[in-house]
Amino acid sequence: MRWLTFAAQNVLRNRRRSTVALFITALGTAALLLAGGFALYTYDALAQAAVRDSGHLVVGTPRHFELDEAVPLEHGLDDADALRRQLLADPAVRHVLARVEFSGLVGNGEKSVGMAAIAMDAAAEAQAKGDFLRVVQGAMPAGGEGGEGGWVLLGAELARTLRAEPGAALTLMATGTRGTLESAAVKLRAVISTGVPDLDRRLLYTDLATAQRLLQTQRVSVLSVFLRGMEDVAAAQARLAERLPSLTVRTWEAQAGFYDSVRALYHRIFGVMGLVIFVIVVVVIANAMASAVVERTREIGTLRALGTLPRQLLTALALEGLILGGAGALLGAAAAVAISTLLRIFPVQMPPPPGHSVGYPLQIDLEAWPVLSTVLTMALLSMLASAWVARRAVRQPIVEALAHV
């Protein structure tokens, strides 16, 4: 404690230099934590979006994931209701949603446009996901498939191309499982937007009954399994894969290939940025300590002449670096926490990413362990830098140190 007090008093001897070192260390720590917090928020947002779209787990036939289909639902699931009941028997499973994916044309009687269609149970989807689609016009189907059959939801750009508004009569056309062109009359219930114009030009949702009638089959493409939480994914996948050896059970991460790509990109970007910030902080602390050591060479010689051991002086100088780095890191962490809190109270909207038409709120997710480890790392690096700079001065011969000018 005595040496720590001595080091603190020495730090205060040159307040200007110490303030500059503290400020740069705090700035570097805050920048590092804010960048890492933004990356954590991005990872979580991407993961939640992927889960909301596909479910925590996706169950399908092996051929569905490995091969292209010559006709719709060639590799689909039979007896989806029985399989759904079997999946719901697992204690971690909350919801199981059936989906049919197909392509074809949608027309208004005057023109037809290509579509990428997804058939779903609107009531079950809403129960599992809440408000999962942004409605621009009209309203989402409120009931089950039996009372709300024959409806479609169109992407905003697709609806604009067809000049269709809620209530308009449309026709779906697709190749059925028998290889013949089939059609189904539907009504437009709502216009939706995903925030991605290219996707909105082709996206169409309809009900399962209409899709199966159009495709002449009772099969579904896959079953989306929603669990209690992310922590259940690995264990539930292992259990379900063991119970359903003839089927493939994939995780949301395997379905969302973009997630790993974005995560790897951000790791590289923030890894390089973090390395640069660490180097800057170490250089600043080392420079501050080098100046202090040069100015105090005669003082060091006097302390040596009075019997102070080199290791004791080295400890005191290293503690000065620890105080500068630790205090600066704590100030930076406090600033990062304050900024993160303010962003939740006063939201800031980010501009739309490339290929999107809708922005997103800027948020910083700070977790206790990353904050603590960053502060400790900054303090430790500052201490080591100070010890490295001071090592020659404390070993200098006493006569030379006393004669230093």
Q: Do 200 and 308 fall within a single domain?
A: no
| Amino acid identity, position 306 | L
Burial of 230 (0-12, 13-18, 19+ CB in 10 A): middle
50: left (phi over 0), alpha (psi -120 to 50) or beta: alpha
Q: pLDDT (tens digit, 9 = 90+) per residue, 346-376?
A: 988 888 776 666 777 888 888 888 899 989 9
Q: Do 44 and 124 fall within a single domain?
A: no
Alpha-carbon span 194 to 200, nearest angstrom: 7
Could you list the residue range(s) of the whole structural domain that residue 74 is in? Answer: 57-228
Q: Do 224 and 366 fall within a single domain?
A: no
Q: Do 22 and 143 fall within a single domain?
A: no
Which run of H or E residues covers position 215? helix 208-215
Instruction: Please report the pLDDT score of residue 1 as a whole number.
Output: 62
> Mind giving me the DSSP string for 52-102?
HHH-SEEEE-HHHHHS--SSTTTT-BSSHHHHHHHHHTSTTEEEEEEEEEE
3-class DSSP state for residue 139? coil
Q: Do 346 and 326 fall within a single domain?
A: yes
Q: Do 123 and 223 fall within a single domain?
A: yes
Instruction: Please report the pLDDT score of residue 151 as a whole number.
Output: 92
| Amino acid identity, position 310 | P
Q: pLDDT (tens digit, 9 = 90+) per residue, 66-116?
A: 888 888 888 889 888 899 999 999 999 999 999 999 999 999 888 999 999
3-class DSSP state for residue 377? helix
Specify the residue for token string 């092996």: 62
Going by C-alpha positions, the residue among 72, 147, 150, 81 that lies closest to residue 116 is: 72
Tally of domains within the chain: 2
Which two tokens mark 330? 């704590």
Q: Do 37 and 81 fall within a single domain?
A: no
- The residue that leads in pLDDT, 293 or 249, is 249
Domain boundary residue, one of 186, 212, 228: 228
β-strand 203-207 against 112-120: which pairing, if any? parallel
The reply to whether 44 falls in a domain is yes
Q: pLDDT (tens digit, 9 = 90+) per residue, 158-208?
A: 999 999 999 999 999 998 888 888 899 999 999 999 888 888 999 999 999
Q: Do 104 and 147 fall within a single domain?
A: yes
Alpha-carbon span 56 to 90, nearest angstrom: 14
Instruction: Please report the pLDDT score of residue 146 as a whole number.
Output: 42
Provide CB contacts within 8 A for 108, sequence distance 6+.
Answer: 162, 163, 164, 168, 169, 170, 171
3-class DSSP state for residue 168? coil
Domain boundary residue, one of 228, 243, 276: 228
